[in-house]
């Protein structure tokens, strides 16, 4: 009984001291993160966070930043939202109140929209990792969109696919909100360019245990090109099953899926012959990208995806902006982020982002990648 009491006290003390520890202490800036850290999308959330943590540790290892003459380090505070917008909103409120964060990173569009309802009032920056165009079109003054929007991809992919592979498209995307917007945009663009949609049968990655039926339905309509996408690994399954059923056309991959990761899940790059998608980080041949990949692999022992790299550079840019302005005021940081991207050490910028649009989108070069003779190659479009 006595032991139990002592234990109880110890636990109470530990919790108490922990709750002190989460509050912001002098010389430290908390940066918030809310994303899926458990459940089906946990991997995605963890990858995102891995890039952020790596950037924070690099900054701290160099002694932090100089904020009004005070050495300041960066502390990532992460909360799990299981991909739910409502939970993301609760988390952001908590991050603001408990840790007084100037910025909250979130890697999904639903969470971004939820945060945009109150971020201007509560005064924090939303660092959104989503390529849904509406995120920056709504005119929220404290939002930064980290990756490029996908409407550019829709045009490029359509043009390239129709020129090289044929005019008949089978839609085999996914059923989450993001995939639906993608599918409707590519459907419109594809028809505008004179193509036809022969089948529309999205896969439900959250509820389907098997995609064989859905894939066979799309293939029965005999398309030249199949639109697939969602997280890389289930997309790989769809690709593999399509090939097993004898589909020999090409694929258009929604930007959420990465060619190199899909190839891994599908059982080889040759499965993806002719496929079109965004350029995977592993194919970038710039010094900055190679250096980042090397450092990431040394730390995590796996190949980084774009979510790690983009969030990594975004946090570096954010901190650079704080350093340059001597401020943690979200409005000041937001105004300085463009210059920060331009002035920051290029080794911290694997994608070479150098500017930000007026409504808060990072600007990147428009490129696509395709698989030719079993190799992923990068193609620059006009």
Partner 1 sequence: MSLFLQQIMNGLTLGSIYGLVALGLTLVYGILHIPNFAHGALYMVGAFMSYFFMVDLGVHYWVAMAGSAVVVAVLAILCERLVFHPLRHSPPIHDKIAAIGILLFLEAVVQMFWGADFRRMSSPFTGIMNFDGLIIPEQRLLIVVSAFALVVALQLFLRKTMTGATIIAMAQNRDGAFLVGIDSNRVAMMTFAISGALAAVAATLYAPINLVYPAMGHLVIMKAFVIIILGGMGSVPGAIAGGMIIGFAEAFGGFYISTAYKDIIAFGLLVLILSWRPQGLFAKGAH
Site string for partner 1, 171-200 (x = CB under 8 A): ----x-------------------------
- CA gap 102, 105 in Å, rounded: 10
CB 128 within 8 A of CB 144: yes
Instruction: Determine the interface stretch with partner 1 among 148-156, 214-222, 276-284, 318-326 (rule: CB under 8 A).
Output: 214-222
Where would I find the beta strands (DSSP E) of 6-102?
28-35, 65-67, 70-80
> Cα separation of 16 and 361, whole Å?
41
> Which of 167/217 has CB closer to partner 1?
217
> Hey, which residues between 257 and 296 contact partner 1 (CB under 8 A)?
264-265, 267
Among 201, 282, 327, 357, binds partner 1 (CB under 8 A): 201
Beta bridge partners of 144: 127
Give the residue among 242, 236, 227 at the shortest CA–CA distance from 263: 236
What residues numbered 20-59 form the site for partner 1, per CB under 8 A? 37-40, 42-43, 45-46
139 in the Ramachandran plot: left (φ > 0), alpha (ψ -120 to 50) or beta? left
Cα–Cα dist 161/250, whole Å: 8
- Ranges within 289-328 binding partner 1 (CB under 8 A): none
Q: Which stretch binds partner 1 (CB under 8 A): 11-19, 230-238, 278-286, 321-329?
A: 230-238
- Contact call for residues 178 and 256 (beta carbons, < 8 A): yes
209 binds partner 1 (CB under 8 A): yes
Q: Least distance in Å: CB of 52 to partner 1? A: 16
Q: Which residues are near partner 1 by CB under 8 A?
A: 37-40, 42-43, 45-46, 175, 201-204, 206-210, 212-214, 216-217, 220, 231, 233-234, 237, 244-246, 264-265, 267
């Amino acid at each position: 009984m006595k032991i139990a009491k002592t234990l109880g006290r110890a636990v109470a003390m530990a919790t108490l001291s922990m709750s002190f520890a989460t509050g912001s202490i002098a010389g430290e800036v908390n940066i918030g993160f809310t994303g899926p850290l458990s459940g089906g999308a946990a991997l995605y959330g963890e990858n995102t966070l891995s890039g952020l943590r790596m950037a924070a540790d690099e900054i701290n290892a160099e002694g932090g930043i100089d904020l009004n003459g005070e050495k300041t380090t960066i502390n990532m505070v992460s909360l799990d939202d299981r991909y739910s917008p409502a939970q993301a909103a609760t988390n952001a409120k908590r991050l603001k109140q408990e840790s007084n964060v100037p910025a909250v990173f979130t890697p999904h569009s639903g969470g971004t929209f939820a945060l945009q309802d109150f971020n201007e009032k509560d005064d924090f920056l939303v660092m959104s990792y989503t390529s849904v165009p509406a995120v920056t079109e709504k005119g929220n003054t404290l939002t930064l969109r980290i990756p490029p929007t996908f409407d550019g991809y829709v045009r490029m992919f359509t043009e390239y696919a129709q020129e090289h592979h044929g005019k008949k498209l089978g839609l085999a995307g996914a059923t989450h909100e993001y995939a639906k917007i993608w599918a409707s945009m590519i459907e419109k663009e594809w028809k505008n360019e004179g193509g036809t949609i022969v089948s529309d049968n999205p896969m439900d990655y959250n509820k389907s245990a098997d995609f064989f039926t859905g894939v066979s339905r799309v293939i029965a309509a005999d398309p030249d090109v199949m639109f697939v996408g969602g997280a890389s690994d289930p997309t790989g399954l769809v690709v593999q099953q399509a090939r097993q059923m004898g589909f020999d056309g090409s694929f258009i991959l929604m930007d959420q899926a990465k060619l190199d990761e899909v190839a891994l899940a599908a059982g080889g790059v040759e499965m993806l012959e002719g496929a079109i998608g965004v350029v995977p980080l592993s194919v970038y041949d710039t010094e900055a990208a190679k250096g980042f990949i090397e450092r990431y692999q040394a730390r995590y022992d796996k190949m980084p995806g774009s979510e790690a790299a983009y969030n990594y550079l975004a946090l570096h840019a954010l901190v650079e902006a704080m350093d340059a302005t001597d401020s943690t005021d979200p409005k000041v940081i937001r105004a300085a982020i463009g210059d920060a991207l331009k002035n920051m050490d290029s080794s911290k910028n694997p994608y070479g982002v150098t500017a930000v649009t007026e409504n808060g989108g990072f600007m990147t070069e428009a490129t696509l990648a395709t698989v030719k003779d079993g190799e992923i190659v990068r193609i620059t479009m006009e």
